[in-house]
């Protein structure tokens, strides 16, 4: 099978190999994941021709040139499409936006080959097969397993590179809702603390005790609501709902920054473990003790559309568990008490 590509003014002047690497319009196969070196071999073997003639990878394209590509069989893959429900917020020819449920892993990894968001995406949208990394087709960014909210998925290589470029350039706008333990007195602030692997626990990240190799991490925060509850005769137990805007995207950034600031996320099994072990009667009565995941939701994502350039803003409603917990806090909070009594 031969695929023909016509060169228009937007790509005229490009090298042949770079053109193919950026467009990759093969049938639904993992050939869309070919490296530039592999594309150069394909051209050198005569499986790509320019105006019917075998040429070099460095050949410059001209307006109205014709590129013929011999489409090869798909590479074998261990990924399986699975019929897993998806909450789709938006879809067009370029991308798919989903509201990821808490508890689902984004992509397969060592020890986990199924039940992931990628498996669900391959069933719903097979065209993403081969777009990007073999085990992460279409994936532009990730959320932790137990973090819910907005994720955007690329449907072809061109869109993947464009969106990835926006994340790298930090032009993507993200907002999260987070419920933390404790009372944050200020209304807003910025956490500017580099993050690296924890020096004594390689499964965790830290801004207080990182290894020497660390990366810049910046998180803006603002208080949405505060909740106070009688804990003992002379003290209150506080919780604060925050809106977080990460300027960078480091592993576990929000969870680490909040914990190291002294306000761990409710339910965080890794970074809030100590506070979970010291849960009080208040935690049990409010359902805090039974909230078994970090109370973190990616509510908003804004990106520039690859084809139109239009700024698109996507919003994901709070999942039921998070929304129910907030409702209970609002109903029982001692909002009329003088906040100066807070411990």
Q: pLDDT category, 176, cuts 50, 70, 90?
A: very high
pLDDT digits (tens, 9 = 90+) for 10-58: 889 999 988 887 775 443 343 445 666 778 888 887 888 999 899 999 9
pLDDT digits (tens, 9 = 90+) for 56-93: 999 999 999 999 887 665 555 678 899 999 999 999 99
Percent residues over pLDDT 70 in the chain: 87
Do the two domains 2-70 and 88-169 of this chain adopt the same fold?
no
Known catalytic residues?
144
Highest CATH level, class, for 2-70: alpha beta
In Å, how far from its chain's centre is CA 174?
Answer: 10
pLDDT at 318: 97
> What is the torsion angle, in degrees rounded to the nearest 10, for the CA atoms of residue 61, residue 66, residue 69 and residue 70?
-140
pLDDT at 1: 61
- Residue 4: Cβ within 10 Å count: 9
Fold category of 173-341 in CATH? Pseudouridine synthase (3.30.2350)
**Domain ranges within the chain, ordered by starting residue:** 2-70, 88-169, 173-341
d(CA 245, CA 243): 7
The CATH code of the domain at 88-169 is 3.30.2350.10
pTM metric for this prediction: 0.76
314: its two tokens: 């996507």
Q: What is the mean pLDDT of the chain?
A: 87
């Amino acid at each position: 099978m031969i695929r023909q590509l016509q060169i228009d003014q937007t790509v005229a002047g490009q090298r042949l190999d770079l053109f193919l690497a950026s467009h990759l319009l093969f049938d639904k196969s993992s050939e869309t994941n070919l490296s530039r070196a592999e594309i150069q071999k394909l051209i050198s073997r005569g499986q790509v021709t320019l105006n019917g003639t075998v040429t070099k990878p460095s050949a410059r394209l001209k307006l109205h040139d014709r590129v013929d590509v011999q489409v090869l069989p798909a590479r074998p893959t261990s990924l399986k499409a699975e019929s897993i429900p998806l909450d789709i917020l938006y879809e067009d020819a370029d991308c798919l936006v989903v509201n990821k449920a808490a508890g689902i892993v984004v992509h397969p990894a060592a020890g986990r080959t199924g039940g992931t968001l990628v498996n669900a995406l391959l069933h719903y949208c097979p065209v993403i097969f081969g777009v990007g990394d073999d085990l992460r087709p279409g994936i532009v960014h990730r959320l932790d397993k137990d973090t819910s909210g907005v994720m955007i998925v690329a449907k072809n290589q061109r869109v993947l590179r464009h969106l990835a470029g926006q994340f790298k350039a930090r032009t993507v706008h993200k907002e999260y809702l987070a419920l933390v333990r404790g009372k944050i007195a200020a209304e807003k602030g910025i956490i500017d603390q580099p993050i690296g692997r924890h020096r004594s626990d390689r499964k965790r990240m830290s801004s207080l005790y990182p290894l020497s190799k660390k990366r810049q991490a910046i998180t803006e925060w603002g208080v949405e609501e505060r909740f106070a509850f009688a804990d003992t005769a002379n003290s209150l137990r506080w919780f604060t709902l925050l809106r977080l805007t990460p300027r960078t995207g480091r592993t576990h950034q929000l969870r680490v920054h909040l914990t190291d600031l002294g306000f761990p996320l409710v339910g965080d099994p890794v970074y809030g473990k100590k506070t979970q072990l010291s849960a009080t009667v208040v935690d049990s009565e409010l359902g805090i003790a039974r909230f078994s995941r970090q109370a973190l939701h990616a509510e908003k994502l804004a990106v520039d559309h690859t084809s139109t350039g239009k700024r698109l803003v996507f919003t994901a409603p709070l999942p039921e568990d998070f929304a129910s917990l907030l409702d209970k806090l609002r109903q029982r909070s001692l909002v009329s008490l003088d906040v100066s009594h807070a411990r």
